[in-house]
A and B are shown apart, each in its own frame.
Chain A
Amino acid sequence: MEEKLKRLNEDVRKALAEAHTMDELNEIRVRILGKKGELTQILRGMGGLSSEERPRIGQVANEVRNTIEGELTARTAGLKELLKEQKLREEGIDITLPGTPVPRGRKHPLTIVREEIQDIFLGLGFSIAEGPEIETDYYNFEALNLPKDHPARDMQDTFFISPETLLRTHTSPVQVRTMEKTAPELPVKIIVPGKVYRRDDDATHSPMFNQVEGLAVDRRITFSDLKGTLDLFARLMFGMKTKTRFRPSFFPFTEPSAEVDISCVICGGDGCRVCSHTGWLEILGSGMVHPRVLEVSGYNSEEVTGFAFGMGVERITMLKYGIDDMRLLFDNDLRFLQQF
């Protein structure tokens, strides 16, 4: 009997090794361990054994049963794993096929850059102010210390609607409008994005373009603060290695006035075609708010000071993306717009 059991064990081992499907394994299970299974049959024959032999054979039978069950379980798990792997292999797809097309769109590069500028100044505690694109002569010029016949008006060739109304030539009128609304409260910290208009049209000028203006007015705002703020802006906008250079300049509504250059974003300051081999790129105009502008806006210029700056979004966008013709920004060619 012991002999039979051992042989059975051997048979099962062989059968398991040859089984390749779950069905075959199940069949083996039933054939050996089922109610009418071979092992069951053998065990039934235990009744004919002597009482000395019975416990020993019983133990052998149990061992054989445990071994068979163990092997069967292990084999089942192994085969399951094998079959799963096989299934996954068979289910492979060509992952190099393109994805299902989902419609794509983009914001205009000028929007992307303007929002980037806005985000920097929002982070510095500025809010965003807006104003009309069609302005009065007063807000566009006179209140900004540009009386009629001032030669500096020639710097901004103007589209007129009537003798007293015009398309704003800069976003600066919003400075005065905002200060008028706020005075005598302090501080004023705004940036003003918006469209502006000048009578120019060539590869470097567009009759409509976008500016972002900034204004900070408070007690004790200094030229040093202007420098620090714009220097930080330049580094956040163009990279932390960017250097700034402030050159004296002239704007009727600021005094002192400064033109701000950044180290060339292309060559890093060594000189290249983009920076005309100077290593510097002019990106914005700035200055301390002229006392006359503060006074007409309702502030006492002895106590209150401020700085203002303005930049062209087109210029910065062109530098950032290496665009060489401003007209592309307004041509609205989808092949261009898809690139940003």
Chain B
Amino acid sequence: MRVSYKWLQEFVEIDIAPQELADRLTLAGVTVEGVTELGSGVSNVLTGRIESISPHPNADKLVVTSVNTGGVQRQIVTAATNVREGDVIPVAVEGARLASGLVIKKAKLRGVESRGMMCSGQELGIDPKTMVAEQANGIMILPPGTPLGKEAKEILGLDDHILELDLTPNRGDCLSMIGVAREVAALLGRPLRIPQPSFKELAESIEGQARVDIDATDLCGRFCARLIKNVRMGPSPLWMQQRLRNAGIRPISNIVDVTNYVMLELGQPMHAYDYNLLADGRIIVRRARDEEKMLSLDGCERSLTPDMLAITDSDGPVGIAGVMGGLTTEVTAKTTSVLLEAAFFNPISIRKTSKVLGLRSEASQRFEKGIDIGGAARATNRAAQLIAEMEAGDAVSGVIDVFPEPPQAKIVSFRPARAAYILGVEVPKEEAAEILTALQFKVRDSGADLLVTVPTHRVDVSLEVDLIEEIARMHGFDQVPGTLPFGQSTQGKQTREQSLIAGIRNRLAGDGLYELMTYSFTHPRVLDQMNLPGESPLRETVKLQNPLSEEHSVMRTMMLPGLLDALARNFSRRVQNGAVFELGRVFYPQGEGSLPEERQVLAAAAMGRTPAGWNAPAWELDFYYLKGVLENLFDYLRTEPVSFKPELENPSFHPGRSAWLEVAGARLGVLGELHPDVLEQFELPDRVVAFELDLDRLLAVSGRPPVYATLPRFPAVERDIAVLIKQGTPAVQVVDAIRSAGGDLLRSVSLFDVYRGGQVSQGYQSMAFSLRFYAEDRTLTDTEVAEITSAIAQALAQQFGAELRA
């Protein structure tokens, strides 16, 4: 809603500047998005009348005119084609400035002196959308009686400020000048001046000439109609056009402009039907029939449904209620009688209809938010008055007012103590009463409390707490002090899972991974890219009914594709090294009637290598890197023991380079190099490694309490051994064999080297282990250690045919 500061002053006296008014309104909940100064920068543009037009001696496309700007005759050369002798037009005289910043100087055009320039609306800062085509493209022609030599800015109502409102959906009552004026009056403590329509009616009565029936009373709560005869169609007066334009509405004709003007002033949308084209002068408000057709005002054929409310005459639809009128009964230059409509339509129905038809108008926006059901008759009278004043027609006596069930007045009791209980600050009963009265609530004092009657324009108010809000916002939110809640104190604490998850993030970031945030929805194609077979359960996705695009159309069942996409995007931007992780949810459908299962997942992926240093070589971000990351993580989380087992059948992973993780007898997830087909699908480099774990399960096996063991009192003995062993022997089996042969005194085994080639014969590898021995009651002798070591060597020889290297 665009609110004219000057027009507003017709209803309430305002002695603060537009910007200050805007701030006051904003802090009272009527948000003003911005204040625009109209005709900003325009000066010295005067009204002038073209007295004569003669050809230019040297140019075919130019004419030489003589313009009277209030006693001063100016010779002006122009290329304009839409001006005639006698037209009143805006003239930028020497020194004038236009909206674009252009300054007008005396000039010679093709040898003929020109003392000024005729202006278009746009040059004065008028939005071309609010002008009819011939005016938008040419010189602005003012009405013949316009006084000469006056500032055109003033004559055109451009010496004004517009307050651009950004209203919350509950405040439909502020979609009118009166509504905003009511707020301003209450804020400034000034009386509100509401126009009381008075006009002469013709002797003849509307009765017998027009008739209105409401069939669908659930969708139409009230319908008022007035009949205007002796209509003289023409343009509306300049002042009305300006106000419409300033509000963003294009003037059309006197009758149509009046309906729009009343809508802006009172918030009641109106429609004018050509009475003579209305079959039998009858209006029936009913649900449309299925596939009933109507030509709307914009010339389109509309197909209606029974969910829509139609305004019909005896022949059929003449309008879609509250959304758009019909072409057959349109008011035209030939119209001589009109029937004016001011009705109340069901907000939900209007909202749905305008959505289905894709038609949002000034009228539908107001109906959707709920207009004042009590204001319809007044609107028809105000329209009739305006029509009479501009001598555009005569009102027939009487109003048809079909109002099947006038709503009961809403009476809400207001307890000042309750307001204090909610607000934390006392607003005296008297002040509360004043505030509500200023907002046109009727207030009756009933001792401790107030009995408040809600005016019909405040459709958003029905509970005591709504009144409390009115009091609070007018009293001023800034008048409420800030306190902290007291009462029972509570402990702010994360749950076990929440702190573990926070720890996981810190741990992974500390180990060289960057956290990503990818969308939870994805393209179904990614499941093909992951090489999943047709029958994979991961292909059963939760689908969005109305996705933004196929790209974001299903909820993910795996997290890895998002990470791989991100890596690929980085790779294509020549960021070729990096490790990333993400914690989030995946979604599994659970059948009709239940919400999908949401499981938390932890995934990571890495490509390339670490940066090389001058003193340390780069290393590959490979399988063993992510395995190390996981081992660190499991250690940090104190999980149950996790074992890595060969993952041979996973179509997304390299069959020889992937592992599944088992913990407490269940599958925790998968770690491995991606399958070359997957890498190709994602346009990733040759080797990318990744893991995806069931985070819920990981958390469940995490957090074993540490068990303290006394520190050894006797020194440990360390021995390194190297064994030659067949390639392909899993290291974990060798370690297990060492452990079991080493007995209790062998406290730790760590593999520190694997070597192939050189002196190691083909098909074999050398594995070097560091062994650590100690006893709790003595220092071990070399002999004891040598015995154990040889037992280990023997076991390895037996089990693997391995040979101890010297």
Chain A positions within 8 Å of B, measured between CB atoms, are 97-108, 110-111, 115, 118, 121-128, 132-136, 149, 151-152, 154-155, 159-162, 165, 167, 186-187, 189, 195, 197, 199, 201, 207-208, 216, 218-225, 227-229, 231-232, 245-250, 255-258, 288, 290-291, 305, 329-335, 337-338
Contacts and interface: CB of A to CB of B under 8 A. Distances in A.
A332 B570 contact: yes
A89 B423 CA distance: 74
Contact of B477 (A122, A152, A225, A246): A246
Contacts of B447: none
A146 B498 CA distance: 31
B425 interface: yes
Interface string B608-635: 0011111110000000000000000000
B86 interface: no
Given A189-B490, A330-B519, 6 more contacts: A127-B493, A208-B521, A223-B480, A227-B481, A228-B484, A332-B516
Contact of A124 (B492, B494, B566): B492
B439 to A, nearest CB: 13
B614 A97 contact: yes
A160 B546 contact: yes
Interface stretch (B23-31, B49-57, B636-644): B23-31
Contact of B472 (A107, A201, A245, A248): A248
Nearest to B606: A103
Given A134-B587, A151-B351, A248 B515 contact: no
A123 B492 contact: yes
A195 B579 contact: no
A122 B368 contact: no
Q: What are the 6 closest A-B residue pairs judged by CB atoms, nearest first?
A: A103-B512, A224-B424, A222-B424, A248-B29, A228-B482, A250-B168
Contacts of A152: 169-170
A221 B578 CA distance: 49
B243 interface: no
A132 B520 contact: no
A199 B549 CA distance: 10
Contacts of B368: 151
Given A105-B514, A151-B369, A228-B482, A255 B466 contact: yes
A124 B486 CA distance: 11
Nearest to B487: A218
Interface stretch (B330-338, B374-382, B501-509): B501-509
B544 A108 contact: no
B29 A245 contact: no
A219 B580 CA distance: 47
Nearest to A291: B465
Interface string B762-795: 0000000000000000000000000000000000
B468 interface: yes
Contact of B575 (A124, A154, A330, A335): A335
Interface in B26-55: 26-29, 31
B263 interface: no
B543 interface: yes
Contacts of B493: 122, 127
B422 A103 contact: no
B709 to A, nearest CB: 30
Contact of B579 (A101, A103, A231, A291): A103
Nearest to B489: A125
Contacts of B434: none
A136 B595 contact: yes
6 contacts: A108-B514, A134-B598, A161-B596, A220-B421, A247-B29, A255-B468
Interface string B568-599: 01100101001110001101000000011010
Contacts, number: 248
Nearest to A155: B169
Given A222-B423, A247-B31, A161 B543 contact: yes
A102 B29 CA distance: 55
Given A151-B368, A337-B514, A126 B490 contact: yes
Contacts of B615: 97, 100
Contact of B490 (A111, A127, A149, A225): A127
Interface string B518-562: 111100000000000000000000111111100010010000000
Interface in B455-505: 463, 465-466, 468-469, 472-473, 477-478, 480-485, 487-495, 498, 502, 505
A134 B580 CA distance: 26
A225 B31 CA distance: 24
B94 interface: no
Contacts of A133: 520, 585, 587, 598
Contact of A106 (B348, B509, B517, B519): B509
Contacts of A135: 595
Interface in B276-333: none
A225 B424 CA distance: 8
Contact of B488 (A187, A197, A201, A228): A187
B512 A105 contact: yes
Contacts of B518: 330, 332
Contacts of A255: 463, 465-466, 468-469
B482 to A, nearest CB: 3
A161 B575 CA distance: 37
A101 B485 contact: no
Contacts of A247: 26-27, 29, 31, 477
B616 A100 contact: yes
B542 A161 contact: yes
Contacts of B472: 223, 248, 256
A31 B422 CA distance: 101
Nearest to B481: A224
B677 interface: no
B570 A333 contact: yes
Given A134-B555, A151-B169, A224-B424, A333 B544 contact: no
B144 interface: no
B347 interface: yes
Contacts of B611: 101
A111 B509 CA distance: 12
B371 interface: no
A161 B31 contact: no
A250 B544 CA distance: 29
A224 B468 CA distance: 14
A282 to B, nearest CB: 10
Contacts of A219: 487
B10 interface: no
A257 B160 CA distance: 33
B465 A101 contact: no
A107 B490 contact: no
A334 B578 contact: yes
A224 B482 contact: yes
A218 to B, nearest CB: 5
A227 B482 CA distance: 5
Nearest to A147: B348
Nearest to B423: A223
A187 B595 contact: no
Given A218-B485, A248-B469, A105 B492 contact: no
Contacts of A121: 492
A101 B613 contact: yes
B465 to A, nearest CB: 5
A108 B563 CA distance: 14
Contacts of A134: 542, 555, 587, 595-596, 598
Contacts of B169: 151-152, 154-155, 250
A104 to B, nearest CB: 6
A125 B486 CA distance: 11
Contacts of A207: 519, 521, 548, 552
Most buried by B among A99, A135, A220, A255: A255
Contact of A195 (B506, B520, B547, B580): B520
Contacts of A122: 492-494
Nearest to A305: B422
Nearest to A231: B482
Contacts of A338: 514
A218 B487 CA distance: 8
